[in-house]
Structure 1
Amino acid sequence: MTDNKGVTYQGPGKVEVQTIDYPEFELKDGPGVNPANVGRKVRHGAIVKTVATNICGSDQHMVRGRTTAPPGLILGHEITGEVVETGPDVEFIKNGDLVSVPFNIACGRCRNCKEGKTGVCENVNPDRPGSAYGYVDMGGWPGGQANYVLVPYADWNLLKFPDKDRAMEKILDLAMLSDIFPTGFHGCVTAGVKPGSTVYIAGAGPVGLAAGVSAFLLGAAVVIIGDLNKDRLAQARSFGCETVDVSQGEPKDQIEQILGEPEVDCGVDAVGFEARGHGSEAGTEHPATVLNSLMEITRAGGALGIPGLYVTGDPGAADEAAKQGSLSIRLGLGWAKSLAFTTGQCPVMRYNRQLMMAILNDRVQIAKAVNATPISLDQAPRGYEDFDKGAARKYVLDPNGMLGTAAS
């Protein structure tokens, strides 16, 4: 049996690299696996040897103890790899294919999948629509921060790169297709970004930076990114964004200095439920701050794209309401301004092929923009620790030593 190691959540603030089971074409019992999924046959699946698998801010929420994730959960939903085995029902994906794995697990058969809403597939999570690898309450599919991972519905889910050698030359860029690049792009599309738009993006983490790249790709005239972290704001400026340091006060005042008016056409929330206050409250958690400020600074008739994660269970929240995902949102303000809101998982398959082509044809350098930094699988605990401290990097794990010169 081929050895397999994976990054596992062991409790608040602690991850470990452990030996885990090699994938089989059947979903086994384990930490976080929905009991109704145990024993599920995956004849339609593929086993992928991981080339790159990224640490995500959504993983960090779990590692901080801000979800109901159980100890032992195998982490990781941003996966790029090489197919090494296929189930008997797989027709088109072949061994040796280099592929991107959308973080959404989707069947391709249900009503939502057929409508392109792959983030809320009805058939992969027995509890509710929507599933992801290595994520709490998402059906219990093992995560991809490992040497090998099982991908169900392979013909549907996997995006094959058309030229393997060419893809490996841009592998750090292509590794962003599994989540953050489509997620940032989705945030901008749903916020209505188009040529000439002015855009404010809350959050200069990897998703916020990806949203900044996406806004430029969509033709935005001005892209402003707000954050507390000076290193991350510097990273945003490195590819042409204006920046707002929200520790200095409300975004609208600094936006007015940049644009000559305190409003933008489009707003994107790339922060989510662990939002901090602005100005004098910058060191304190205020989970509704970003949404409320975006409603204030987005022009009437505009839209908010909300790719930032919000949860239904947050045991570390400051008050009882927030522990249930209930926030003090100024919905009346949003209503009065006729703002549109789009929330939820990005349906990655709606965008990943187009963004792949933009990467392969040198229209975008997403890895440089998010400061993609390869590290070994054994370095994952340190990567989580540094990322939690606000490192202006996107850590890319290299479980099988396949990144080559990209990792140097």
Structure 2
Amino acid sequence: MRAAVFQGVEQPLEVEEVDEPDCPEHGVVVETEACGICRSDWHAWRGDWDWIGVMPTPGLIFGHEPCGRVVEVGDRVETVNEGDLVTNPFNLGCGSCHHCRSGRSNVCERSVPMGFIPIQKGAFAEYYSVREADQNVVVLPDDADPTAVAGLGCRFATAFHGLVHRVDVTAGDWVAVHGCGGVGLSAVHVADALGANVIAVDLDETKLDRALDLGADRTVDVTAVEDVPQAVKKHTANSRGVDVSVDALGIADTVQNSVNSLGKTGQHLQIGMTTSEEGGEVSLPVDTMVTDEREFYGSYGCPQVEYEEIFRMMDTGKLDPGRIVGETVSLDDVPAVIENLGDYDTVGIPVCTEF
């Protein structure tokens, strides 16, 4: 089969002929119909995240936002059938640890991140496998649009999990989203669907316009203000600060701006992961967080059990992940798209749809 194969840190991926994946007895093999191209792929390609144990080796196949149709089912699988249209979270759970049993498989004790380690290659390929299918595979309605749901593997679902299940967003709350890439725009769309007043923050006017289309009520262009947190706070009642602030990028400036945009008892939601510049560490105003009782939360993927909530909101038109898709490309385009993510000028989610 054809696949885009990692050659080494910051070396262009090569589209090569490789062996098709074997079907695990507890897993499935899926023919790929779409796969989102995520900034996390770019982080791995750059060699970021060795501080959390992500160290890709040549021969790895990236791609962790897949959608496709099942072509082979392992002997021990009970809930997935050949021909099903499926997706899956990027962080695959074991199905038996405490977290998996309690509905929090996204933080599984033995989580396997798809497309980041050799034992679970990804979906920038004609076929991919999914381990522990009964735990990890999400069967989609047969008429679902694979391109529209590709972001459910990571970005859209991570934003949903964070805003719905990690922090407390209620109608009328002020929610700031710092960074309007794919996951940031997803957060804008989800927060709007929850009834929040949304402030989108970015340095790219095109991305801010897209955020307005997706439900943002106010925008802050960071190139036009001297103090980003104060500019955010001015949009809130009595400039008291936002109730929830999301960092959807992961650089030190956006993490700090997000925390400093909060009002008293506000909640910060960290979705963006850091680069080698930060190495996983960012300084924070700890004393102010204590005296204001501000809270810091992380969102890492989305448990499989929460996907049904997304689908119900999609059925009524409250959520439409397809609106976040920025462009569709072929497998041959994937290497260049990943490299160009470092320019930070991609609007929405790029999705590979031709393999």
TM-score normalized by structure 1?
Answer: 0.79
Offset, 1:119: 1.8
Residue in structure 2 matched with residue 207 of structure 1 by the alignment: 183
Aligned to 2:52: none
- For 1:87 and 1:269, the matched residues in 2 are separated by 40
Q: Is the 2:90–2:301 contact (alpha carbons within 8 Å) kept by the matching residues of 1?
A: no
Distance 1:251 1:152 in 2: 44
Q: Deviations 1:20-68 (Å, cap 9, x if unpaired)?
A: 221113xxxxxxxxxxxxxxxx310000111111100111112233344
Residue 31 of structure 1 corresponds to: none
Describe the SS at the equivalent of 2:160: helix
In structure 1, stretches of 5+ residues that fail to align are: 26-41, 124-129, 276-286, 401-408
State the percentage of identical aligned residues: 30
Distance 1:156 1:265, change over 3 A: same
Q: How many residues align?
A: 345
In structure 2, distance between residues paired with 1:197 and 1:327: 27
SS in 1 for 2:8: strand
> Could you say if the C-alpha distance between residues 384 and 216 of structure 1 is closer, same or farther in structure 2, counting changes exceeding 3 Å?
same
Q: Secondary structure at the match of 1:210?
A: helix
Q: In the alignment, which residue of structure 2 is the partner of 1:298?
A: 262
SS at match of 2:289: helix
State how 1:65-214 maps to structure 2 within 5 Å.
65-67=47-49, 68-123=55-110, 130-135=111-116, 140-162=119-141, 164=142, 166-167=143-144, 170-189=145-164, 190-214=166-190
Report what 1:381 is aligned to.
335
Contact 1:9–1:74 (Cα < 8 Å) also in 2: no
Q: Give me the whole-angstrom Cα distance separating, in 2, the residues matched to 1:243 and 1:18.
A: 43
CA distance in structure 1 between the aligned counterparts of 2:309 and 2:5, rounded to whole angstroms: 31
Rate the CA distance shift 1:328–1:9 in 2: closer, same or farther, 3 A. farther
Normalization by structure 2: what TM-score? 0.90
CA distance in 2, matches of 1:360, 1:378: 34
Contact 2:4 2:61 in 1 (8 A): yes
What does residue 49 of structure 1 align with? 31
Partner Cα distance (2:228, 2:161) in 1: 23
- Most deviating of 111-120 and 355-364: 355-364
Paired residues of 1:84 and 1:95 also in contact (CA < 8 A): yes
| Separation in structure 2 between the aligned mates of residue 9 and residue 378 of structure 1, nearest angstrom | 15
Structure-1 separation of matches of 2:221 and 2:148: 28
Contact 1:100/1:158 (8 A) holds in 2? yes
Q: 3-state SS of the aligned residue for 2:92? A: coil
How far apart are residue 13 of structure 1 and its match? 5.3
Q: CA RMSD in A?
A: 2.0
Distance in 2 (CA, whole Å) between partners of 1:69 and 1:198 is 39
Q: Distance in 1 between matches of 2:258 and 2:329?
A: 35
Q: Is the 8 A contact 1:231 1:391 kept in 2?
A: no
Structure 1 contact 201–226 (Cα < 8 Å) conserved: yes
Instruction: Give the Cα–Cα distance (whole angstroms) in 1 for the partners of residues 83 and 149 of structure 2.
Output: 17
